[in-house]
């Protein structure tokens, strides 16, 4: 038997080891679960600018992982080569939201479980994870934090502005303060009594207050 005969027989054996039905079923299910992960990502996104490319990546990542694992499980030699090939891959994209890491691992894990033949675990597990994320991520807090940025002319104006804020909100906490000649800038975290922000209009008209700005605060403060 020549080397070509060995190669051909091994190739035909690898092709026949995975049925076409298994391929189609794995790809279809991975696409369905990937689409489900994508929809959950859209519903739970908390950032400022939504990236549709990342959502599409979740679908592709689920499908690619399932195809790779399906190929690996069919051939031990191929699995060793795949480990060596994937070990040199480096991803340089920065992940800004820790929740995005959970979605990436979810997509990879779902693809691995599907390719391993544990279809009920992949489907039921994905549904449970999706429900948990929808409940906890979209839960509204009654004490939503805001940041008030104050620009005051002097110390007296700063004291008056802080006293006015303390009377109109439930909680104040100075996050940062910068002072230059004839100007003091404060970043203050506040909790509103209600959803009314009209007190900022009166605050900006106080003597010595040059400007007053209120912005939504997601809790990730960088000092």
- pLDDT single digits (tens) 107-136: 989 988 988 888 899 999 999 999 999 888
pLDDT at 6: 46
From the list 213, 212, 148, 157, the residue with the least C-alpha distance to 182 is 157
**In the chain, at which residue ranges do the beta strands (DSSP E only) sit?**
145-152, 169-180, 183-192, 209-216
pLDDT at 142: 54
pLDDT at 30: 93
Strand arrangement, sheet containing 183-192: 169-180, 183-192, 145-152, 209-216
Beta bridge partners of 172: 190
When mean pLDDT is compared over 83-87, 130-134, 138-142, 216-220, the highest value belongs to 130-134
Per-residue pLDDT band for 7 (boundaries 50, 70, 90) equals very low
Joined tokens for residue 202: 């009166």
Confidence check: pLDDT of 221 > 50: no
pLDDT in tens, 181-197: 878 898 888 888 777 78
Beta bridge partners of 185: 151, 178
Confidence check: pLDDT of 12 > 70: no
pLDDT at 79: 60
Per-residue pLDDT band for 222 (boundaries 50, 70, 90) equals very low
Beta bridge partners of 150: 186, 212
From the list 176, 173, 193, 172, the residue with the least C-alpha distance to 185 is 176
What mean pLDDT comes out for the span 25-33? Answer: 92
What mean pLDDT comes out for the span 198-207? Answer: 86
pLDDT at 63: 92
92 Cβ neighbours under 8 A, 6+ residues apart: none
Is 145-216 a domain of CATH 3.30.70.260? yes
- Taking the domains of the chain in order of start, what are their residue ranges? 3-137, 145-216
pLDDT at 218: 58
């Amino acid at each position: 038997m020549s080397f070509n005969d060995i190669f051909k027989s091994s190739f035909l054996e690898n092709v026949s080891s995975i049925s076409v039905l298994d391929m189609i079923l794995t790809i279809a299910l991975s696409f369905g679960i990937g689409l489900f992960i994508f929809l959950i990502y859209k519903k739970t996104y908390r950032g400022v600018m939504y990236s549709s490319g990342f959502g599409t990546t979740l679908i592709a990542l689920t499908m690619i992982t399932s195809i790779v694992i399906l190929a690996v499980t069919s051939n031990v030699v191929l699995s060793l080569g795949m480990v060596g090939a994937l070990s040199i891959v480096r991803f340089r994209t920065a992940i800004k939201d820790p929740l995005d890491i959970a979605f990436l691992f979810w997509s990879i894990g779902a693809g691995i479980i599907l390719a391993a033949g544990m279809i009920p675990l992949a489907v039921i597990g994905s549904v449970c994870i999706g429900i948990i994320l929808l409940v906890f991520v979209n839960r509204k807090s009654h004490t939503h934090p805001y940041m008030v940025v104050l620009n005051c002319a002097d110390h007296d104006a700063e004291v008056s502005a802080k006293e006015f804020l303390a009377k109109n909100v439930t909680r104040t906490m100075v996050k940062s303060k910068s002072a230059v000649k004839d100007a003091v800038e404060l970043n203050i975290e506040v909790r509103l009594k209600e959803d009314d922000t009209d007190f900022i209009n009166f605050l900006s008209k106080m003597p010595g207050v040059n400007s007053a700005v209120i912005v939504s605060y997601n809790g990730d403060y960088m000092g």
